[in-house]
Structure 1
Amino acid sequence: MQQQSPSSAVGVIGLGAMGMGIASALLEAGLPVIGCDVSASTRDAFVAQGGRSVATPAELAAECDVVVLVVVNAEQVEAVLFGEQGAVAGLAPGSLVIQCATVAPSFARSLGERLTAAGLEMLDAPISGGAAKARSGDLSVMSSGSEAAYAKGQAALEAMAATVYRLGDTPGAGSSVKLVNQHLAGVHIAAAAEAMALGMSMGIDPDTLYEVITHSAGNSWMFENRVPHILKADYTPLSAVDIFVKDLNIVHQTGRELRLSMPVAASALQQFTAASGAGFGREDDAAVIKVYQRLSALELPAANDAQREGEP
C-alpha cells in the first residue's frame, strides 16, 4: 500500500467503554480524532459526539500519525496492526502506535521490535482507571518507550491521562507493571467475593458487613469498589469476568516463563474461570461471587424493583 503523508489526527482503534472514553477525552481536548470499530452503531455514536470514524484500521492509518489501540487482547492487537486491512502497512514512517491493551510483556517486547523494523514508534502503554476516568481524561498510564515516542504522543497522553508513569525506554516495562496491577486486582476481587460469601453464610447483614470492613484493616480498593455491585445485585459489566480470565491467564503464562510459582493468582484464576464456565463471563467481575451461590446455599442480595425495571 502506498503510504500517504501523515496528518496531525489521532486515531483510536477500539471504541468500547474504555476506547470511547479515551476518544471522547481526546476530542474534548481539541485534538482531531478518528475512531475505528467493527460496530457501525458504535462508530455512529462517536460521530454524533463530533468525531470522525472509519470502518477499518487501514483507512484510519491513511489519515493519522498517532494511533491508540484500545482493543481486548494480543490477538486483536495483531489483527488491527498486521492483519488484512491492518494499520501498519498504511502508516507513514515515524508514526506512533500507543498500545493500551493488557498483553504479556514478551508480546509487548516483540511488538516493539516489529514496529521499529517497520519504521514506526511504539509506546507500551497499558491503562488503569476504568471507563469513567477514561472519559474524564484521568487515566493512569503505565508506559515505556523511546524519547521520540513520548514526544510524538505527548498531546494525546496529556489529554487521556492524569498520570503517565515512564517505566523504561523500550516496550515491555509498561506491560510488566500492568501485569502486577492485574494480578493484585484479580486476587483482590476474588478475595472480596469470598469474604462477602463467608460473612453472609454466617448470617451477617451484607450492608453492615460492607460498612464495617470498609472502615477496617481488611479493606481494599477493590472491596470498596466492587462489593456495592453485589449489594445492589447490579452486574452490569464495567469490567467483565472474562477480562480477568484473560489477564490472570497472562499472569500465569508469564509466571511459567519466569519459572515463578504464583498459587494465589492461580486460585483467583480458577474462581474467575468457574464463573465464566457457569455463564457469567460477560457480567461484571463482581459476579465471581456467584460461584459460591452455585456451590452452596448462599443467598445473594436481589435487585430492588427499580433495578428490575431498569430505572436509575
Structure 2
Amino acid sequence: MIAKLLQAGYQLEVYDIDPAAATDVLEKGARWHDAPRDAARDCEIVITCLPLPHDVFDNMTGEQGALAGMVPGSVWIDTSTTDYHNTIEIARLAAAIGVDSLEAPVSNLSHMGVDFANVSFFVGGPLKAYVRCETVLQTMGAISFHVGDIGQGQSV
C-alpha cells in the first residue's frame, strides 16, 4: 500500500519497529524517522497498519507516539484489522487534540491484495474526514466504503 502512495507522488514519512521492514519503501523515496512522533510531525494524514491492538496503541500514544507529532485538523487512519475498542480509545485521545480518526480495516491483506492494490476498506469515522481522505484510500486499494461511526468499520 505504501508503494502505491509513492507511485502516485505522495511524500511519505515512515517508521517501523523493525527498520529492515522499511527498506523497500525507503529505496522508493519514503523518508525514515526514528519514532512514530517524528514520522507523524506536521502530516495531514497519518496511516497505521499494525498486527495487534497493543502495537497500534503503543505507536499512537505516549511521548513518542504519533499523536504527539500530529497537529489539529490532521487525520489518523488505522488500517489495522484489530480491536475496535482500542481504536475508539485512541480516537478519543485524538479528538482531545483536534485530530480526526478513521478506522479502515483492510480486506484481502495478502501479498496479492497489497501489491496490486486489490484491497477494500470499510471505513468508520466522521464523514468529513472520510471525504477528505477518500483519494488516499482509493490509491492504496480498489475501493473504500464509509460505513458509519468509528467502531463500525471493524464490525463490518
Higher-Rg structure is 1
1:127 is the counterpart of 2:80:
no
Larger strand share, 1 or 2? 2
Contact 1:128 1:140 in 2 (8 A): yes
Q: Specify whether residues 105 and 39 from structure 1 end up closer, same or farther in structure 2 by C-alpha distance, changes over 3 A only.
A: closer
1:44 is the counterpart of 2:23:
yes
Q: Which has the higher contact order (CA 8 A, sep 6+)?
A: 2
**What is the TM-score normalised by the length of structure 2?**
0.90
Write the deviation string for residues 177-236 of structure 1: whole angstroms up to 9, x where unpaired: 1xxxxxxxxxxxxxxxxxxxxxxxxxxxxxxxxxxxxxxxxxxxxxxxxxxxxxxxxxxx
What is the distance in 1 between the residues matched to 2:38 and 2:115?
25
Consecutive unaligned residues in structure 1, runs of 5 or more: 1-21, 178-312
Displaced runs of 4 or more, over 6 A? none
Report sequence identity in percent: 27
Q: Which residue type is aligned with residue 80 of structure 2?
A: A
Q: Secondary structure at the match of 1:103?
A: coil
Give RMSD over aligned pairs: 1.6
CA deviation after TM superposition for structure 1 residue 63, in Å:
4.0
- Residue number in structure 1 paired with 2:151: 172
Write the deviation string for residues 135-178 of structure 1: whole angstroms up to 9, x where unpaired: 2222111111112211331221110111212110x21000111x
What is the distance in 1 between the residues matched to 2:20 and 2:90?
30
What is the distance in 2 between the residues matched to 1:76 and 1:89?
16
1:150 is the counterpart of 2:140:
no
- Residue number in structure 2 paired with 1:9: none
Larger helix share, 1 or 2? 1
CA deviation after TM superposition for structure 1 residue 104, in Å:
2.4
CA deviation after TM superposition for structure 1 residue 30, in Å:
1.7
What is the distance in 1 between the residues matched to 2:84 and 2:59?
19
Write the deviation string for residues 71-126 of structure 1: whole angstroms up to 9, x where unpaired: 11110111111134111011010111001112223333333222212210111110
- Residue number in structure 1 paired with 2:61: 82
Q: Secondary structure at the match of 2:133?
A: helix
What is the distance in 1 between the residues matched to 2:87 and 2:38?
24
Equivalent residue in structure 1 for 2:40, among 61, 73, 76: 61
What is the distance in 2 between the residues matched to 1:106 and 1:62?
25
Q: Which residue type is aligned with residue 48 of structure 1?
A: E
Consecutive unaligned residues in structure 2, runs of 5 or more: none
